[in-house]
Structure 1
Amino acid sequence: MLNHLGSLPESQIAHIQALDVGADELLLEFDDVMNTARAHRYEESLPEEDFKLLQKIDSAADAVASAGVDIWSEESLRRAPEWEALRKAARFTRCTLKESWDISDDPS
């Protein structure tokens, strides 16, 4: 999931087109991750540092969701600074968590 969220816009567009969904699906997929992370944090099975990294992505996702209706277009996915900030946060988190979470390079 972090692979898709942090990938280049054209890869994100290919992903949502393959699923036949809109750009909001990228945020919905991450929302599932955050819900699971909150549960694991509550159970103290997720380190606080890892959760804070995910919260940075969540904040960037909130900025995308708050940007208005035009943010959901493929053109916005390519060019909007909110999407780029989200991709950057996802890439940083993915790189940071790659070893401890055994994240593969496979974008699926």
Structure 2
Amino acid sequence: MPDGKQRMRIESVARQVEQVLERLGWIPEEQLGYAARLGVGVDELALEFDDVFRLVVGLVHAGVIPEAVAEALRPVDGILADMSHSSRAEWDAWAVMESVAWAELRELAGVALDLLRRADFEADEGA
């Protein structure tokens, strides 16, 4: 059973992951508006995901949260990696509004969010 400090960290990570997945699942206009409010490019959504994904992977390796949490995020990480390595422009307003990759990203983010909302972020003691 995690101590109070560790439980707070797990809850904080869970909230961060949910927030990032929610933003990735937003409709294009919301995503573009979010980036504009921050004064950054829409690739900030991918950078935010990468930050929390790395955190999750580290916590899985430390035995703090279960592998299932990282597994739920891997499809989102995969499509973002594909988009980053694509020869197509995936990080402009047109792509956000029209590209198949962004539509798939929104769908995968929704699936991951649903899985995580039903998952237990606490690692099994025997793990």
What range describes the TM-score normalised by the shorter chain of this pair?
A: 0.7 to 0.9
Alpha carbons of structure 1 residues 101 and 7: separation in structure 2 relative to 1, 3 Å:
farther
Distance 1:95 1:4, change over 3 A: same
Instruction: Name the structure 1 match of 2:98.
Output: 79
Q: How does 1:16-95 map to 2 (within 5 A)?
A: 16-68=35-87, 70-95=89-114
Alignment length, in residue pairs? 102
1:52 Cα shift?
A: 0.7
The equivalent residue for 2:13 is none
Give the structure with higher Rg (CA): 2
1:3 maps to amino acid: E
Shift of 1:69: 5.5
Seen in structure 2, the aligned counterparts of structure 1 residues 77 and 101 have a Cα distance that, compared at 3 Å, is farther
In the superposition, the TM-score normalised over structure 2's length comes to: 0.74
Percent of aligned pairs sharing the same letter: 27
Aligned CA distance change for structure 1 residues 100 and 53 (closer, same or farther; 3 Å):
closer
> Counterparts of 1:79 and 1:62 in 2: how far apart (Å)?
19
Q: 2: distance between equivalents of 1:42 and 1:13? A: 34
